């Protein structure tokens, strides 16, 4: 169920939106009862602003803390497409998120082009994010469930992408395929507890081997991935950008 506050934030945006979707813990399948809502999307700057001298509002961020806490971040379509053409897993996950607050026919076009943006070098994104979250988890005096779940989520997303060429961001769905026995308990703790739910230090030690094993597997899958070295849909994305900018 999408809260009405999310739809209101989308309607209040300064520019027309190509799409707005839900990212973060709600997309990943482990929101706490008090988790904030991460809204991500694409706005369309008018052509007069793009060709004029005024600074471009390429990224717009809006935060609200009322009945619910939400964070809305949108990029202009040109910037978003340029991010899509880099090995950036975030933007692909946002584009393909099944939790849709606002959509357009051009959003559907962009989703159809998304597979052509995926490359074997996307593993760098998932590996780097996993290592950062793991370092955060390790240095905490009171280790939290949240960075642990983020670590395993991005590792499994990266492994699955390298193997199948498909982006899946939901940890529960990923674990239906990869069967890590500790994942359901961690998800349950996050779903039922506070956003900053912690675990005991002695319990945290058991996850070192799982992290090392999954990190190694991600590297191995990347080394034999069938994904191409570079995106294959630059021309199609350029055509879409021109049409959207000109209002065609």
pLDDT tens, position by position, 116-132 = 999 999 999 999 999 99
| pLDDT surpassing 80 at residue 133 | yes
Q: What are phi and psi of 198, to 5 degrees?
A: -115, 165
pTM: 0.94
How does the average pLDDT of the chain come out, rounded? Answer: 94
Q: Whole-angstrom Cα distance, residue 166 to residue 198?
A: 32
Q: What pLDDT is attached to residue 195? A: 61
Q: What are phi and psi of 230, to 5 degrees?
A: -150, 160
DSSP string covering the chain: ---HHHHHHHHT-SS-EEEEEEEHHHHHT---TT--EEEEEEE---HHHHHSSSPP--EEEEEEESSSEEEEEEEEHHHHHHHHTSS-HHHHHHHH-S-EEE--HHHHHHHHHGGGG--GGGHHHHHHHHHHHHHHHHH-SS-BHHHHHHHHHHHHHHHHHHHHS-----HHHHHHHH--TTHHHHHHHHHHS-TT-B--HHHHTTHHHHHHHHHHHHHHHHHT--S-SS-S-HHHHHHHHHHHHTT-
Residue 194 has pLDDT above 70, yes or no: no
Measured CA to CA, the distance from residue 144 to residue 199 in angstroms comes to 6
Q: pLDDT tens, 9-26?
A: 999 999 999 999 999 999
pLDDT of residue 142: 85
Distance CA 43, CA 76 (A): 5
pLDDT over threshold 70, residue 230 = yes
* Calpha distance 165→159 (Å, rounded): 10
CB-based burial label for 122 (10 Å; 0-12, 13-18, 19+) = buried
The full length of the chain comes to 248
Cα distances (Å, whole numbers) of residue 217 to 62, 180, 214, 223: 38, 13, 5, 10
Whether domain 4-117+231-245 has CATH 3.30.460.10: the reply is yes
| Structure tokens given for 100 | 């849709």
* Structural contact between residues 150 and 144, judged by C-beta atoms closer than 8 angstroms: no
Beta bridge partners of 69: 65
């Amino acid at each position: 169920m999408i809260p009405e506050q999310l739809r209101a934030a989308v309607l209040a945006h300064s520019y027309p939106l190509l799409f707005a979707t839900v990212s973060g813990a709600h997309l990943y399948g482990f929101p706490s009862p008090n988790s904030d809502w991460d809204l991500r999307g694409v706005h369309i700057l008018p052509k007069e602003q793009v060709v004029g001298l005024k600074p471009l509002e390429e990224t717009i961020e809006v935060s609200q803390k009322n009945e619910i806490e939400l964070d809305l971040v949108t990029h202009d379509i040109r910037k978003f497409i340029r991010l899509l053409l880099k090995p950036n897993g975030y933007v692909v996950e946002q584009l393909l998120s099944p939790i849709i607050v606002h959509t357009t026919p051009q959003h559907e076009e962009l989703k159809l082009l998304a597979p052509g943006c995926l490359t074997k070098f996307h593993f760098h994104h998932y590996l780097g994010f996993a290592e950062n979250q793991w370092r955060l988890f390790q240095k905490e005096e009171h280790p939290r469930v949240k960075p642990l779940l983020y670590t395993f989520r991005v590792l499994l997303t990266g492994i699955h992408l390298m193997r199948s060429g498909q982006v899946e961001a939901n940890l529960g769905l990923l674990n239906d395929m990869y069967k890590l026995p500790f994942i359901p308990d961690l998800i349950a703790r996050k779903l039922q507890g506070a956003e900053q739910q912690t675990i005991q230090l002695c319990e945290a030690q058991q996850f070192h081997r799982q992290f090392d094993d999954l990190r190694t597997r991600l590297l191995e899958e990347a080394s034999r991935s069938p994904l191409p070295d570079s995106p294959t849909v630059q021309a199609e994305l350029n055509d879409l950008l021109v049409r959207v900018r000109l209002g065609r």
